[in-house]
A and B are shown apart, each in its own frame.
Chain A
Amino acid sequence: MSPHITTSSEANGNVSAATAQATVRAAERAEAAGPKPVTFAKALNTALADAMEADAAVVLFGEDIGTLGGVFRITDGLTARFGEQRCFDTPLAESGIAGMAIGMAINGMRPVIEMQFDAFAYPAFEQIASHLAKMRNRTRGALDMPVVIRIPYAGGIGGVEHHCDSSEAYYAHTPGLKVMTPSTVADAYTMMREAIDSDDPIVFLEPKKLYFSKDPVDLDALRAEHDAAASAGGHLTEGRAAIARPGTDATLIAYGPSVSTALAAAEAAAQEGRSLEVIDVRSIVPFDDETVSASVRKTGRAVVIAEAPGFASVASEITARVQERCFHSLAAPVLRVTGFDVPFPSPKLEHYFLPSVDRILDTVDLLQWED
């Protein structure tokens, strides 16, 4: 929701013709220059609003998402626009939120629930792993579970303990769940729309450090693109990785908050004459083996980058899959840059933990270039 700013001249009812003309000219210039910058948060908010507008079965609930609009303001204005029946606060109980969403889905609704922070979602784990993920299977396909669980996740904002976990492996390890994480403003919109369209439960991981990042994005065009794909029964993002930056010498495979770090590393490498391709996984489950493998077969080298501790992680899984599929094209072992196997650090220490441009470049240097 864009803030309404009242200038003093408007307040006085004293808007001159010259001012009005200047405003029009500015708008025309902006139009000619292409779309305006939009925040990641605004793209998510618009996607939620569009989905609610399109289908009365879409309901939002969670903690502080009503009047306040969420601690990150992702649901800002939705209660005012759609009413307290469609976007509301619940008692503070995450298992209750997830369990009630399952029941609502059984009875024809399409709930989109918010877990306030990554680590606050753990009380809901039984409902997610034992029921949400398994309901279709337990009932032999009789019950689908069109539920989206939104989780602000990962670090990079100097957050306190229990506010910065990268919890994707828990969900990705659970058959029946799909796990998505956007890294661009445009994908934030499109992936949220497709998550809400899905008849399968989606764990939608929102990199919180990106909420207030901006890209020039035409939301109207994205909406039209989504609607056209949806009416044709296709997906633009589910199960489809994106090539975030083309390159020829090695592939960096990243997702969510690590994509921007990988892109910065690729830019730095380019200065030194090394061309790195960056793959944005986007859809952790289902995983796009095809796009990832095609890139690594082309470049012959790969580094997987993720914030989560590396042991038994999504990065480990990607590494194994690339090794299995691209062995004969590899000039070096597939390496990983991940968080250390320690609890997420306190704010003053997090930059030692998070994958950095330097650590990525150091790792790329280890890919046996001399052989």
Chain B
Amino acid sequence: MSAVPGEQHATEAADLDTVCRHFGISVEDYLLPSRGQIQIVDETGKLRPAEDQGTEPGHEYPLPDDDTLMKAYEQLVIGRRVNDQNSALVRQGRMAVYPSSHGQEACQVAAALCLGADDWMFPTYRDSVAVMAKGVDPLETMILFRGDWHGGYDPRKYKVGIQSTPLTTQLLHAVGVAHAAKLRGEDTVVLAMCGDGATSEGDFHEALNFAAVFNLPVIFFVQNNQYAISVPLAQQSVAPSLAHKAVGYGMAGERVDGNDLVALMAVLGRAVELARTGAGPLLVEAHTYRMQAHTNADDATRYRQDAEVQAWQAKDPLNRMTAYLQGKGLLDDPASERIAAHAEETAKALRDGLNQDPEVDPLELFQHVYAHQTPQLVEQAALLADELSREGDAK
């Protein structure tokens, strides 16, 4: 049995006992999250000593390599720029709505970059930056938010589920994708995203239980940004942490500083490796903060204090990572300029694309309801076509 992290393409699936033997810890110690959250780089951008990273035996996380970190940093810069560009486009009336992940970009980037090309991701409405970081065309991603159609990309082409607005329903789709892959003997890993409030939903429970019972390679990645829309975490759950919820399903849970890109890459990277070897699903909770309102229609001052927002400002994932990489000598001025230019290029493409008004075809309403239009839809499409032609005549 070679199914342990770092030894991929195992011929034999690992089970919980094997994994625990590999780490030299009990099943309980493997399932339970570390006592604190894993943090590798502190809020000032300094590498914490290994003994001070919040790890425990069997929960140690090696530092990702420089190349991985630089690639992730580039996506982090782009993600921040995309968030702010899109918020501006909403204010200018170019987009109907944009749930920004400003402040959560480290989670967004790590969720996408921990996966291989054939792995799937199931995002929520707030995860546009993750969707783009996984490779989906930025303009295709924004079709939903511009109001042209409910979705703008082909999930099978990018291995990214359609961004979900109902909460946690997509976790079960992630389970199904993983189950189908397992039945065919493929080693696909699926990462399924949700927020802290969503862990109260019934489908959260059903998805975790199904994934555990069928021993499926699914990473449940909870971005705990402290609020649903207005309701704080304390009113969703009194569990010691959301990561603890894993234990009840026989699944390992871990919690990590969600504004520490290095820790996120390390924890999610190991989770993906473990899942791929057949060790079953895992739950990773990332502590982060939604720096802006839920959407442009929300007023966050009604339910949270400015001092709290300021405290989280000091933990910003981008400032921290910039300081860390500069301190490490990896990020010099030319590299910063190149990355900033790349981010600006992406923002400009979004601006240019979203400032155009593409034609929407009313008759497309009838095209994708069924594989073939029913006689009833043919009739209704003809009715609308007739109305349209009379409108055209009137003009």
Contacts known (A106-B156, A142-B155, A286-B376); A130 close to B169, Cβ less than 8 A: yes
Residues of B within 8 A of A136 (CB): 368-371
Category for how many chain B residues contact A = 35 or more
Instruction: Give the chain B neighbours of A176 by CB distance below 8 A.
Output: 369-370
Are A93 and B210 CB-contacts (below 8 A) given A103-B179, A104-B179?
yes
In the complex, what's the smallest C-beta–C-beta distance from A135 to chain B, in angstroms? Answer: 8
Which residues from B are CB-within-8-Å of A302? none
CA–CA, A199 to B184, complex, Å?
20
Interface size class of A (residues with CB under 8 A): 35 or more
Closest to B182 in A: A85
Q: Mark B199-216 against chain A: 1 for CB-CB distance below 8 A, else 0.
A: 000110111011001000
Question: Is A346 close to B, CB under 8 A?
Answer: no
The answer to whether residues A99 and B180 also contact, given A137-B369, A142-B154 and a CB cut-off of 8 A, is no
Which residue of chain B lies nearest to A143 when distances are taken between CB atoms in the complex? B155
Q: Assess whether B371 is in contact with A199, with CB atoms less than 8 Å apart.
A: yes
Q: How far is the CA of A370 from the CA of B375 in the complex (A)?
A: 37
Contact B375 A106 (CB under 8 A): no
B374 at the interface (CB under 8 A from A): yes
A19 CB-CB contact with B under 8 Å: no
Q: Which residues in chain B, 369-394, are within 8 Å of chain A measured between CB atoms?
A: 369-371, 374-376
**In-complex Cβ contact of B150 among A101, A137, A144 (8 A):** A137
Using Cβ atoms and an 8 Å threshold, which residues of chain A touch B152? Answer: 140
Q: Is there contact, CB below 8 Å, between B370 and A127?
A: no
Tell me whether A100 and B172 are in contact in the complex, defined as CB-CB below 8 angstroms, given that A85-B183, A142-B155, A143-B156 are known contacts: yes
A237 surroundings in chain B (CB, below 8 A): none
CB–CB A109/B180 < 8 A: yes
Contact for A107 among B181, B210, B376, CB less than 8 A: B181
Dominant secondary structure of chain B at its interface with chain A? helix
Is A303 in the interface zone, CB < 8 Å from B? no
Q: Which residues of B contact A286 (CB under 8 A)?
A: 370, 374-376
Contact of B172 among A99, A111, A143, A178 (CB under 8 A): A99
**CB < 8 Å: which of B173, B371, B375 contacts A131?**
B173
Q: B58 in the interface, Cβ–Cβ < 8 Å?
A: no
Q: What is the number of contacts between chain A and chain B, taking CB atoms within 8 Å?
A: 139
Known A91-B213, A130-B166: A100·B367 in contact at CB below 8 Å: no
A96 adjacent to B367 (CB under 8 Å): no
User: Judging by beta carbons under 8 Å apart, are A103 and B154 in contact?
Assistant: no
Contact A100 B375 (CB under 8 A): no
Residues of chain B from 149 to 178 with CB closer than 8 A to chain A in the complex:
149-157, 161-162, 166, 169, 171-178
Interface residues of A in 183-201 (CB under 8 A from B): 198-200
Do A178 and B370 have beta carbons less than 8 Å apart?
A: yes
User: Is the Cβ of A106 less than 8 Å from the Cβ of B173?
Assistant: yes
What residues of chain B lie closer than 8 Å to A138, measured between beta carbons? 150-151, 162
Q: Mark A72-103, 1 if CB is under 8 A from B, else 0.
A: 00000000000001000011010110111111
A144 and B177 alpha carbons, distance in the complex (Å): 14
A96 touches B149 (CB 8 A): no
Are the CB atoms of A59 and B183 closer together than 8 Å? yes
Quick check: A105 and B371 within 8 Å, CB to CB? no
Taking A106-B177, A127-B172 as contacts, is the C-beta distance between A96 and B155 under 8 angstroms? Answer: no
- CB distance A106 to B176 under 8 Å? yes
Selected from A91, A131, A200, A290, the residue in CB contact (under 8 A) with B169 is A131
Q: Mark A125-158, 1 if CB is under 8 A from B, else 0.
A: 0110011001111111111100000000000000
Tell me the complex Cα distance, A294–B155, Å.
Answer: 44
What is the CA–CA distance of A111 and B180 in the complex, to the nearest angstrom?
A: 10
Least Cβ–Cβ distance between A239 and chain B, in angstroms: 7
Contact of A102 among B120, B153, B172, B183 (CB under 8 A): B172
Q: Identify 27 residue pairs between A and B in the complex whose beta-carbon atoms are under 8 Å apart, listed by A's number.
A: A90-B210, A91-B209, A93-B205, A93-B206, A93-B209, A95-B206, A99-B173, A99-B176, A100-B210, A102-B173, A104-B177, A106-B156, A107-B177, A111-B176, A123-B202, A131-B169, A134-B150, A137-B150, A137-B369, A139-B151, A139-B155, A140-B149, A140-B151, A143-B156, A144-B371, A178-B370, A198-B371
Apart from A105-B176, A126-B203, A239-B375, what 11 extra A-B contacts exist at CB < 8 Å? Answer: A90-B210, A99-B176, A103-B173, A107-B180, A126-B169, A130-B166, A137-B150, A142-B151, A199-B371, A239-B374, A286-B375
